[in-house]
Each structure stands twice: as structure tokens, then as C-alpha cells.
Amino acid sequence: MAAPNSWSLPLLLAEVLAPEGQPGATPRAHFVAPTPREAMREMVTDRPDTTESPFTVDAGHVQLELDAFAAEHDEGATELWAAATNLRLGLTPAVDLHLIVEPWRRAGGTAGFGDLTVRAKLNLWGNDEGHTAFGVIGFVRLPTASAGLGAGGVEGGIILPFALELPSDIDFSTMVELDEIRRDDGLGTDLILSASVGHDLWNDLGGFVELASSMPLDTPDESELGANGGLILQLGDDLAVDSGVRVGLTRAAPDLAWFIGGSARY
């Protein structure tokens, strides 16, 4: 039997993940045979809240999610980011690939490039229909940062995002995340939990509120808890801008952070 050519592998995966007859799905779409414009789903982003979404980018399309500028204040010190970007590429109807870059970061008097994160997301259900959705995201963070700005080594983790459509057009989402993080004395595990509620406020303007926590499993007394909120303005089917704030509720959490950014789909 002849070996399959390189293009048959993503095609086979697309057919498995999006069988014939599934509403909204394009079974034979993949990264070199994009989903037709008329069959594309509503744009859903992984920003601006902390909670990731279980939804993927349509096959063959690119989604750019940008923190144009962000600042974090904690105990008199300020950390800054500019143009932090999550570039998402739809591989199949249920799988997309993410490349997260920090072109410029400033902390502790040092400025430069940040770490590079590579992620893959699989939607297990709910991409095209239903009141719930669930997915899995795996990621690896690579030590590409300038000295003093990054983790100093490889990190990684897994994220389990869930979304629920509530009555009155209220969107609820939550996630559980486990990260292997580098500490001064070696690797440790952080448990991250979050829950977000979003709702349309007026015409194309929406808003969200969120609680997010991070707990080092080896030192739980250093747990962080924050309250987040923001606004999202939809400028069309493929473009949105957003802004928001994050407020620390525990001593270990950063005191205050704010950001402005947006998302675009091609």
C-alpha cells in the first residue's frame, strides 16, 4: 500500500472531527482548503478575560488577538507590555494552533523580548451548535525572553475550558488549568481557576466580569485572587476592540492591571 501524502493527514483528521451532516461544519476544510466565508462560525476570542474559550478558529483562517498595551502595578513596581499577540491558525474544523509572542516587555528596569508560547486547542463539542462547549488546550512556553524577563527555562501545562449559554443571552465560561512553573528551587505546579460572565450591554457593546485565582500547590498560602472586568466593542463580523482592568483581592495578587487591545479574523 502506498504511503499517504502529506495533505491527506489533515484531511482525514478534519473528516473525523467534523462528520457529514453536522450543522455549520465543513468536513473537508483544513488549513490549505479553508472553510468558505458563508460557512464560517461567529468569531469567538480567547480574550479579553482570563478564561480561555473552548471554541476554535475556522479551518484555513487566521485570528489575531492583541494586547496593544498593558500595565500591571504591584507594591510600587510597574510592569509593561506592548503588542503582545496570540496568532491563531485554524487547522481543521475542531483544531487550531496558537503562537503567543511578547515583542516588548519591561519589568524591573529591564526591557526586551518576552517568552514564546506555542499552544494547540481541540474542541470536543459545541463548536457548531448546542448550549455548551468544551475543549482541551495544551501549551509549551519556550525561554526566548531577554535576561531577567522570562521563566529561564521550558514550562508547560494543560487547560480545560467550558462554556455555557444561559437564558437572557448571558454567556458563562470557566476553566481549570494546571501549569508546570519554574521556581527558584525547581519546578512547581500552579492550579488556575476562573469563571467569567458576559452580556451585551447596548447595540454592539458588550461587557464581562470575572473572578480568577492562581494557587501554587506547593505553597498554597501564596494564592492569588483577582476580580476582572471590561468592555468589548464589535466593529463587524471579523473585528472587535476591548479594554479592561484587573484588581487584586489578596496580598499575593498584583494590585492593579489594565489593558487595551482587540481581535481581527482573516
**Mean pLDDT of all residues in the chain?**
91
Q: What is the DSSP string of 133-165?
A: EEEEEEEEEE--SPTTTS-SS-EEEEEEEEEEE
Contacts of 2 (CB under 8 A, 6+ apart): none
pLDDT exceeds 80 at position 20? no
Burial class (CB in 10 A: 0-12, 13-18, 19+), 40: buried
Residue 21 confidence (pLDDT) above 90: no
Domains of the chain and any CATH numbers: 54-260 (2.40.160.40)
pLDDT at 155: 97
Residue the block writes with cell 503562537: 99
Amino acid 9: pLDDT: 41
Q: For residue range 193-233, what is the model confidence (pLDDT) as tens digits?
A: 999 999 999 999 999 999 999 999 999 999 999 999 999 99
Residue 27 pLDDT class (50, 70, 90 cuts): low
Residue 185: what pLDDT?
82
pLDDT band at 186 (very low <50, low <70, confident <90, very high): confident
Residue 15 has pLDDT above 90, yes or no: no
pLDDT over 80 (residue 3) = no
pLDDT band at residue 55, thresholds of 50, 70 and 90?
A: very high
How far is residue 262's CA from residue 266's CA, in Å, rounded to a whole number?
14
- The cell numbers describing 74, all together, are 504591584
Give the pLDDT band (50/70/90) at residue 25: very low
- Asked if pLDDT for residue 77 goes beyond 90, the answer is yes
- Give the model's pLDDT for residue 2: 40
Q: What does the pLDDT look like over 91-118, one tens digit per residue?
A: 999 999 999 999 999 998 899 999 999 9
Mind listing the pLDDT tens digit for each residue in 138-171? 999 999 999 889 988 999 999 999 999 999 999 9
Q: What is the mean pLDDT of residues 86-92?
A: 97
Q: Check whether 255 has a pLDDT greater than 80.
A: yes
Average pLDDT over residues 235-254: 97
